[in-house]
Structure formats: structure tokens, C-alpha cells
A and B are shown apart, each in its own frame.
Chain A
């Protein structure tokens, strides 16, 4: 008691932070053990990607950086700060991605962008994803970082996200037979300088429209409240400024491209986990067309620790858990009515299925896709936003807030 009193006196000039010591200690040990295990069982590159994933988790949690809430706030309250931050984040990544991908390699490692065909499967899949993310309460990254923060509702969303992703792999070959343009890379079609100009202009236009809508509705843009913490305390305990978190995510996506050879992606891992689980209980997923394609068959046969997306997803969950513990907000208490859980399940399935059809989620298709100069990323954005609008309308049906309060 005396020692505690002395310690309390010594730190009195600095506001005391309540951290959740149990979860922080457990997660730190888990991060250390997992890094060593992945480095030993696979290689140092995968261990580095796991750590990049954990930093993504910390950034997502401390910045409360999600697409779902930001898009909902824009359509309900006409506040576009989150959307403008998302555009800035993508722009920063694009400035690095487009020249790097055009170069084809960096530091001796081949680089490939998140470039995919532009077709019906993207339109339908992204719209399903947008609807699902409003019901599920988070997108791909949002689901992972809130699961890491100890949310039991989002655990339900994640489970059904995985189910939907597996169902998506079952039907994807049929969807890919529907009308489609080929993959269109702006860097390849226009050259690096023009591709950058077009991409940055497009992102700037979206940001400008969000600002215009906000000014018309409120007369001015939203101001940010001064933080109650600063310096190292804010870095450790959060919350981070939204722009700071967005820039950190852009930097970490660039680090992912340079380390993995491809941009940050999330939902491929969900389909793989579900397929492995289904195979373990006797479902013949290995005979499904998707899982017979060489890269997918190889992933299904290999250890999940060899899958870059999976190890990064594990890192995101643990990184977010660490951040939540450091913020003293791990595993918040929350009521879980049945209707809310039903929305989480439906939303999860829609997101998983939609992400597989549309070549990714907000991260793999929107963030990494547009930053790679792929036209499918823009189509994904438009379709998902329309789906998200429908999702905001549907939320009150499940007792969630939306255009009308529940």
C-alpha cells in the first residue's frame, strides 16, 4: 500500500490511465509467442507481416477507423470528415502504389496490385457488402478490430462473415461467367503520371463533394475537439486523430506491398479459414471449382500460417486487443438483443459472400484497389455506397439506429 501511495504521488502530475492489465499482459505474450512461432515455422517475412498486421490493428482501434460508421454518418448527418480522411488515406497510398506496381518490383521482390475485372460480380457483390456492413456493424477491417477489442456481437458477425465467404467461393465461378470487362489498370492504360492525376482527381472530387454537402447542411465543416491526451500517452492509450490513423494505415499498406508483394487484403483469409473448417468436418470443398484453381488449391493444402492474409488478420485482432487494453476499454459491456444478433448474422453472411464476388472488401477492393489504379475499386466504391444506403435504411428493422431512431 505504501509503495502504491508513493507511486501514485510520483505520477500525480500526469493523468493516470486505467489500463486493462490482464488482457494487455496476455495479448503481449500472445504477440511475442506468435511472432516467434511464425518466424520459426514459416519465415521471417511472414513474422514481419504479422507484426505489420498488429500495427494495423492498433491504428484501426486507436483511430476508431471504420468505413461503416463514417458512411452512415454522412448519409444521416451529412458529416463527411470520415470520408475525406478515407480519400486522403487512399491518395497517400496511391502515390506510392501506382509507380511501384508499374515498376513491377522493389528490393528484388515482384509487386502486383489489387487489380481485378470490372463486371457484374463486382456490382452485385459490393452492393451486398455495403448492405451487410451496415447490418453487421463493421466492414472487413472494422469487424476484425472490434473483435480484437472484445466485442461479442462482432464475434457473431465474424463467424457469419466466414460462412458467407465460403458460400461465395462455391458460387464465384458462376458469377464470373456473367458480363464483365477485363481488369483495367490505370497505370498500364494511361501511364504512371496520368494514372496518378486521374486517381488523385477522383479522390479529390469525392472529398470535395462530401465537403460541399456538409457545408450546405451545416454551414461549415465539422471542427475536431482538442484531445485530452498528448504525446506518448496519446500514442499508447489513444484516441488517435482520424487523419493520423489514416496516414498510419496508408504507410502500413505500403509496407505490406513491399513486404508481401501485394497490397493489404483481409477477406481472402476468411474464405480460407471457412474452407479449412468445412473440409475438417467432411465438406468436399477441395472439389469446388474455386478451390481447384492452383493458387487456391495450394492455399487450402498449406498451413494457414503460410497465408499472408491470414497471419495479417491474426495480427490485426491481437493488435486491436492490445490497443483496447491500453485504452482501458477492452471487452465493453453491451446489451445484445436477439434482433441485433440476427442483423449481425445476416450482415456477416452478406459481407462474406459479397466480398468474394467483388474481389475484396473496403480494404482489398476499395483501399488497395483504387490505390493500385484499378477501375474495379471505383466501381466497388459506388456499388457499396448504394448498398450501404439501403443498409442504413434497414437498420431500424433490427432495432439499430438509422434514418429513424429505433
Chain B
């Protein structure tokens, strides 16, 4: 076991832990406005939004604007909510 590498790992672990804690605290502050705080509750109550995996930050489709576009469209109308409003599917580019 290399002492240098162990210390480096320990330092990186501590720095990462501090960064995660700082981000969590900051995100709590960012969610403070009443309008924003109310949004998640409304989303939870809406079965279409709550059950829409496209809107839930699906990392598999994260880079795809298709996922983002489907948030605004009505996912309830189609069996596959991700494909329902997929602009990439229009015209096949």
C-alpha cells in the first residue's frame, strides 16, 4: 500500500465530501422561493408528470433534447411517453 496514494485518496474523499455537502446546502437555498417549492408537490400530484420517466432526469436520454421536449408535451397521450413528442423522429433528419 502506497502511503502517498492513500493520502491522495483520503484527501480526494474529504474534498468530495465537502463539495457534496456544500452543494446540498446550496441547493436547499436555491429551492427556497415559494413558487419553486410548490412545483415538486404539484408534480407529485400529477400522475402524468410523476410517472413520466422522460421528465425525471433520465440519464440514459440526458443528452437528448428529445427527452426534454417530451416534458412539455402530453406524455399521457401515448404508450411510450419518451417517443411521443420526439422531435428527432420527425422527418428522420
Residues in A lying within 8 Å of B, measured CB to CB: 20, 22-23, 26, 30, 41, 104-105, 110-117, 119, 150-152, 155, 168-169, 172-173, 176, 179-183, 185, 188, 261-263, 265, 268-269, 271, 276-277, 290, 293-296, 298-299, 301-309, 314, 321, 330-334, 356-357, 359-360, 364, 368-369, 372
Nearest 8 A/B pairs, CB to CB: A293-B68, A268-B59, A114-B60, A331-B5, A112-B53, A182-B89, A303-B27, A265-B59
Contact assessment for A304 and B5 in the assembled complex, using a CB-CB cutoff below 8 Å: no
**Alpha-carbon distance between A16 and B82 when the two chains are bound, in angstroms:** 54
Contact assessment for A116 and B24 in the assembled complex, using a CB-CB cutoff below 8 Å: no
Q: Name the interface size band of chain B.
A: 35 or more
Indicate with 1 or 0, residue by residue over B10-47, a CB within 8 angstroms of chain A CB atoms.
Answer: 10110010011001100110110000000000000000
Contact assessment for A357 and B63 in the assembled complex, using a CB-CB cutoff below 8 Å: yes
Report the minimum CB–CB distance from B86 to chain A (whole Å). 6
Cβ of B58 within 8 Å of any chain A Cβ, yes or no, is: yes
Knowing A182-B88, A182-B92, say if A115 contacts B60 (CB, 8 Å).
yes
Residues of B within 8 A of A263 (CB): 60
Contact assessment for B9 and A295 in the assembled complex, using a CB-CB cutoff below 8 Å: no
Contact assessment for B63 and A110 in the assembled complex, using a CB-CB cutoff below 8 Å: no
- For this complex, 23 residue pairs linking A to B, each with C-beta atoms less than 8 Å apart, are A20-B1, A112-B61, A115-B61, A117-B64, A169-B63, A176-B63, A188-B83, A262-B58, A262-B59, A262-B60, A268-B62, A269-B59, A295-B54, A295-B57, A296-B68, A303-B24, A303-B28, A304-B24, A305-B24, A308-B59, A359-B64, A360-B59, A372-B60
Residues of B within 8 A of A261 (CB): 53, 56, 58
Contact assessment for B57 and A307 in the assembled complex, using a CB-CB cutoff below 8 Å: yes
Residues of A within 8 A of B60 (CB): 112-116, 262-263, 265, 359-360, 364, 368-369, 372
Q: Is the interface of B mostly helix, strand, loop or mixed?
A: helix
Report the minimum CB–CB distance from A387 to chain B (whole Å). 18
Report the minimum CB–CB distance from A337 to chain B (whole Å). 15
Knowing A20-B1, A321-B9, say if A181 contacts B61 (CB, 8 Å).
no
Pick from B31, B53, B81, B83: contact of A183, CB under 8 Å: B83
Contact assessment for A302 and B27 in the assembled complex, using a CB-CB cutoff below 8 Å: yes
Report the minimum CB–CB distance from B72 to chain A (whole Å). 8
Contact assessment for B82 and A304 in the assembled complex, using a CB-CB cutoff below 8 Å: no
Contact assessment for B5 and A181 in the assembled complex, using a CB-CB cutoff below 8 Å: no
Report the minimum CB–CB distance from A246 to chain B (whole Å). 21
Residues of B within 8 A of A262 (CB): 53, 58-60
Report the minimum CB–CB distance from B90 to chain A (whole Å). 8
Interface centre among A296, A303, A357, A360 (most CB of B within 10 A): A303
Knowing A110-B52, A295-B56, A295-B58, say if A301 contacts B4 (CB, 8 Å).
no
Residues of B within 8 A of A20 (CB): 1
Known: A23-B6, A314-B20. 15 other contacts (CB 8 A): A112-B61, A112-B82, A117-B88, A169-B63, A182-B88, A268-B62, A271-B62, A295-B55, A295-B57, A304-B27, A307-B59, A331-B5, A332-B2, A359-B64, A369-B60
**Alpha-carbon distance between A61 and B92 when the two chains are bound, in angstroms:** 42
